[in-house]
Chains A and B, each alone.
Chain A
Amino acid sequence: MRREEINVAVIRVGGTNCDLETKRAFEDSNMKAEIVHFNQLCREKDLLDYDILVIPGGFSHGDYVRAGAIWAKRLMARLGKKIRQFVDEDRPILGICNGFQVLVEAGLLPQFEGISSFPEAALGTNIPTGYNCRWVYLKLEDHSHCAFTRKTASKRVLKIPVAHAEGRFILAREKKRKQLEKLMENHQIVLRYCHSNGETANDEYPSNPNGSLYDIAGISNPTGTTFGLMPHPERAYFGWQLPDWTRNDGPPTFGDGRFIFESVAEYLTKKF
């Protein structure tokens, strides 16, 4: 498959608000991206006509019940069969911020024993409480297994912003130790919050902006094709999106977020 042939579905519902910049990032990486309303995908369009499924950031369905919960249940009720096929065929699925919350609520992440009917993890209220919008440092952990981070990174620490109130990755209290070990064994922990020098944040605010377990910022399923992360790579795609370029000699061409989009393009061009 050539890069120009890759079809990306950036799906949206009421409350989604990061679809346009996500589409632009994929397009700049020479892929064909389309914003598709969820209802279109349920009626006249076919999910299986696309090579990548992206659930972008926002506040789907007003974040009612729990962030991502309503869209997750609708997604699996209306498109569950096709989503399962999408996953079985190793086609990549990306969930950014609210999209990550949707993937977790839908049982598509972490997938300890395949796709689960009920959530196996949660993205809880931030500690400290409140909406946190800031640039954070991210350490690439087990990244070579994941379709979205497999490309050889020019650096091990990425600078990408977060913007959320419910991003604290948690596991069930009684299973926490075992499940965390399983995530490590399966190489599912892809991104962790860290200090600017690359040392893990060790739950220290603001390097870890939400109190996430083990400083987890992004995980994949065991095969590495479904990936969710709280930070917004589409907001760090171009150099001019960086917060500090006016203090330097001008913006660099690209930001660290581009790595995610380039990686998945490389995955698809090599695999299919």
Chain B
Amino acid sequence: MLYEARVEVGLKPGHSDPEGETTAHSLKELTYPIKEVKVSKTYTITLKADSHNAATIIIEEICKRMLANPTKDSVNFKVAEVK
């Protein structure tokens, strides 16, 4: 079966986000009422797996091995079957 995972990698709370801060500063300069900007990266991954559970295990492993650095990154993902 085919599954699609949407993986979001952002910074863990407490880690500086200079890219977000710079973006926020620039948006404030454009007079928008911005409080905070946080930057994250989204990956859309299509994969083959026998079940939803199997797909989730693969995505978890991919996140640990490649997409996130546990020192600073937090990860959220959702897996759904492609129909």
> Residues on A close to B: CB < 8 A?
65-66, 69-70, 73, 105, 118-122, 124-129, 170-173, 211
Contact between chains at B19 and A173 (CB < 8 Å): no
Counting chain B residues whose Cβ lies within 8 A of the other chain, the interface size class is 10 to 19
| B16, B22, B67, B69 interface centre (most CB from chain A within 10 Å) | B69
Contact between chains at B18 and A127 (CB < 8 Å): yes
Expressed in whole angstroms, the Cα–Cα distance for A128 and B16 within the complex equals 11
Residue of A nearest to B41 (CB): A65
Q: Is the C-beta of B83 less than 8 angstroms from some C-beta in chain A? A: no
Q: Is the C-beta of B64 less than 8 angstroms from some C-beta in chain A? A: yes
Contact between chains at A129 and B22 (CB < 8 Å): yes
Residue of A nearest to B43 (CB): A65
B residues 19-44 with Cβ under 8 Å of A? 19, 21-22
| A66, A120, A128 interface centre (most CB from chain B within 10 Å) | A66
Expressed in whole angstroms, the Cα–Cα distance for A206 and B67 within the complex equals 31
Q: Is the C-beta of B48 less than 8 angstroms from some C-beta in chain A? A: no
Q: Is the C-beta of B71 less than 8 angstroms from some C-beta in chain A? A: yes
Expressed in whole angstroms, the Cα–Cα distance for A65 and B75 within the complex equals 13
Residues of B within 8 A of A73 (CB): 65-66
Contact between chains at A173 and B66 (CB < 8 Å): no
Nearest 3 CB-CB pairs, A to B?
A122-B71, A129-B18, A172-B71
> Residues on B close to A: CB < 8 A?
12, 14-16, 18-19, 21-22, 64-67, 69-72
Residues of A within 8 A of B65 (CB): 73, 118
Contact between chains at B18 and A173 (CB < 8 Å): no
| B64, B65, B72 interface centre (most CB from chain A within 10 Å) | B72
Expressed in whole angstroms, the Cα–Cα distance for A126 and B18 within the complex equals 7
Residue of A nearest to B66 (CB): A73
Contact between chains at A69 and B69 (CB < 8 Å): yes
Extra contacts, 9 of them, besides A69-B66, A73-B65, A126-B18 (Cβ < 8 A), are A69-B69, A73-B66, A120-B71, A121-B71, A122-B71, A124-B16, A127-B16, A172-B72, A211-B18
Residues of A within 8 A of B67 (CB): 65
Write the nearest CB–CB distance from B52 to chain A, whole angstroms. 25
Write the nearest CB–CB distance from B11 to chain A, whole angstroms. 8
Residues of A within 8 A of B69 (CB): 66, 69, 105, 119, 122
Residue of A nearest to B67 (CB): A65
Write the nearest CB–CB distance from A95 to chain B, whole angstroms. 16
Expressed in whole angstroms, the Cα–Cα distance for A173 and B11 within the complex equals 11
Residues of B within 8 A of A119 (CB): 69-71
